[in-house]
Amino acid sequence: MTASGTFHIGGDLEVRRLGFGAMHLRPETAEDRARCVAVARRAVELGVTLIDTAHMYGWGANEDLLAEALHPYPDDLAIATKVGFRQTTTDQGWRYAGAPDELREQVDEALRRLRLDRIDLLQLHRLDPGVPLADQLGALRDLRDEGKIARIGLSEVDEGELTAARAVVDIAGVQNRYNLLDREHEPVLKACEEAGIAFLPWRPVAAGTSGAQSEQITTIAKELDATPTQVAIAWLLAHSPVIVPIPGTSSITHLEENVGAAGVHLTQDQYDRLTR
């Protein structure tokens, strides 16, 4: 997987540029749990050095699962997680939780579940519209200064919000929805490029079936003897040096397909055709 290259998140945390998003690992039964543990372990065997999770993924169950599967963690494995939501009994099932005391509580919970002394990359899952931005990020800055988190990231922000956040604290990563067929956040990506901030696209493959949505992707996949999914991920890796895709799956077969994208090399013509 070294063909994907590496990126230094926050300038100092070196990760391979093809990570793993753990959202789909949902251990609802004992059989599911064994399968999910196997997928997480296989990701590390394949050379993944960045795994992304969140409190919201099973309200802590996903973090517990990763600790069960991978602790004690390899020295080169970075764990990223997200806070900023709380589960509720409402129809929506969640609420924003960006108040400083709630963020601090969630970080402490994440440290306990992940069995970590410090979180490599702690991301604010969403900005809480009911709490001043300076209060939310100030709380994370304090936690960083205390040594509980190493780097701070954001999720689903626009260019203005990123600029405002950077005036409060150093931002190491941004996790926005982005893929070959959905480039709404291109301005945010460009801002990350200019600042050297990691851009972690979630849903890096549109609906998981890019080939069905784009004849061009299917055509180029045939030219490269690759799958449409691999072509979509390869385009991301070629599109910007700060992009660190984190495709997720609960299948070892799909995991191996995703990781295999690191070895897919687009020609300039193929890249241009996809970009158009």
Catalytic residues: 57
For 238, the token pair is 């070629």
Q: Are 154 and 191 in contact (CB under 8 A)?
A: no
- Distance (Å, rounded) from C-alpha 244 to C-alpha 15? 9
Phi, psi (degrees; rounded to nearest 5) at 202:
-90, 155
What is the DSSP track for 16-72? ES--EE-TT----SHHHHHHHHHHHHHHHHTT--EEE--TTTTTTHHHHHHHHHHPS
For 197, the token pair is 């901030």
What is the DSSP track for 200-246? --BS-SGGG-HHHH-HHHHHHHHHHT--HHHHHHHHHHHH-TTB---
93-97 long-range contacts (CB < 8 A, ≥24 apart) are: 94/56, 96/126, 96/128, 96/129, 96/130, 96/131, 97/128
Q: Are 13 and 23 in contact (CB under 8 A)?
A: no
Phi, psi (degrees; rounded to nearest 5) at 203:
55, 55
> Dihedral, CA atoms, 249, 252, 258, 263, nearest 10 degrees?
160
Percent helix, percent strand, percent coil in the chain, to nearest 5: 45, 15, 40
Side chain identity at 90, as an amino acid letter? T
